[in-house]
Amino acid sequence: MQSRVLQLEEGKDPTVLSRTNQSKALPLRLLQLLVLFLALCIAFSFISLYTIRHFGVQSVVTSVKSTFQPCYEEPGSLNKSIRPPSNLIHTMTDKELLWAASFVPRIKKYPFQRVPKIALMFLTKGPLPLAPLWERFLKGHEGLYSIYVHSLPSFQATFPPSSVFYKRQIPSQVSEWGRMSMCDAERRLIANALLDISNEWFVLLSESCIPLYNFSIIYNYVMRSKQSFMGAFDDPGPYGRGRYNEKMAPEVNITQWRKGSQWFEVNRKLAIQLVEDTTFYPKFEQFCRPACYVDEHYFPTMLTIQAGNLLANRSITWVDWSRGGAHPATFGRADITEEFFKRVLEGHRCLYNNKTSSICFLFARKFAPSALEPLLHLAPKVLGF
């Protein structure tokens, strides 16, 4: 009997033995996990205390905040909409750029303190050899002007950060004198300048242009003018109406055909008309090719048709055609004298706000790089800056 009981104990169900062993092992495993968790907590506490002690609570909080990115964007203030582009280099195509520049606020009164600026738009091949003269002209008038430079795409400017021309190049393309690509470059300059809502007046200049008066005189002259300055006259000769193509009708009739200087000043209203045009552009692109020089006819004709009463029908950039030829005279070192500027500045009569004025030209061209040194020398006495 005793042996049977012993055999039964030795032959216990193995399943029962296994459950007994698991129940004994489970508390041991929980204990190990608890110890590991406590060790990690202690280690994290030491690291946190060390970081706060050496770097401070403020820096820890700041670093955490700086990595946080909200999943939505808060509505922006008006400043974001009216702030001029911080970088003139963009990836917009000309079509996109002209579209973006054509926006016009429907409410005329600005809901902020707007200081109107004059946009100086330089259409160049490459360097700006007269830049030091412009630097002096603009000094002390920050906030009243903007600069835009359209050069050949291959040219890379090297102006120092202190220069007013630093990073003022816009995305450009090759432009040829007398062809539509020249007008494209001009529209590109205007469109980029229109992206700054503070720009009110737009002046097209070349690398050979100089100012003839100090900044205050030029700024006030343009600001107070009731008209924009673009030559737009009817030339009945072979270099005027003789360039007209009958295929431009009905958009442009021969009686509306105008000619004028490439160098102009327009206000913001006319600048928008220049970039938004899709009516006259195709006609000029197709039917005004050399010997029809489109940069002399496109803008003067279009604006005469659309807003002729807003044009003074004269340029404010002086040039000398007295030497003859296809291009005006160029002036170098030997030409820059007080007598020369007397001839440039005196003896002119023109209409300004329907009154006779002796100040007719604000800028002059064409000046060679060799003219820079004498210009800088004479500027304080003759030009007033």
Taking only the tens place, the pLDDT of each residue in 122-156 is 999 999 999 999 999 999 999 999 999 999 999 99
Is a pLDDT exceeding 80 seen at residue 6? Answer: no
* Mean pLDDT value across residues 217-223: 98
pLDDT value of residue 22: 47
pLDDT value of residue 80: 75
118 token code pair: 């004059």
pLDDT value of residue 135: 98
| Overall number of domains in the chain | 1
- Which of the four pLDDT bands, split at 50, 70 and 90, describes residue 325? confident
pLDDT value of residue 117: 98
* Residue 286 CB partners (closer than 8 Å, separation 6+): 247
Q: Which domain covers residue 322, as residue numbers?
A: 86-104+113-383
Is residue 71 in a domain? no
Is residue 80 in a domain? no
* Mean pLDDT value across residues 26-44: 68
Q: What sign has the CA pseudo-torsion 175, 178, 179, 183?
A: positive
Q: Which H helix or E strand runs over 133?
A: helix 131-138
Looking up residue 352, the CATH number of its domain turns out to be 3.90.550
Is residue 6 in a domain? no
- Measured CA to CA, the distance from residue 312 to residue 329 in angstroms comes to 25
- Which of the four pLDDT bands, split at 50, 70 and 90, describes residue 38? confident
- Which of the four pLDDT bands, split at 50, 70 and 90, describes residue 84? confident
Q: What is the mean pLDDT of the chain?
A: 87
Is residue 258 in a domain? yes
298 token code pair: 């496109």
- Give the pairing type, strands 355-357 and 350-352: antiparallel
pLDDT value of residue 253: 97
Is residue 43 in a domain? no
DSSP state of 85: P
Is residue 280 in a domain? yes
Is residue 65 in a domain? no
- In tens, the pLDDT along 274-295 reads 999 999 999 999 999 999 999 9
Is residue 8 in a domain? no
- Which of the four pLDDT bands, split at 50, 70 and 90, describes residue 96? very high
- In tens, the pLDDT along 191-200 reads 999 999 999 9
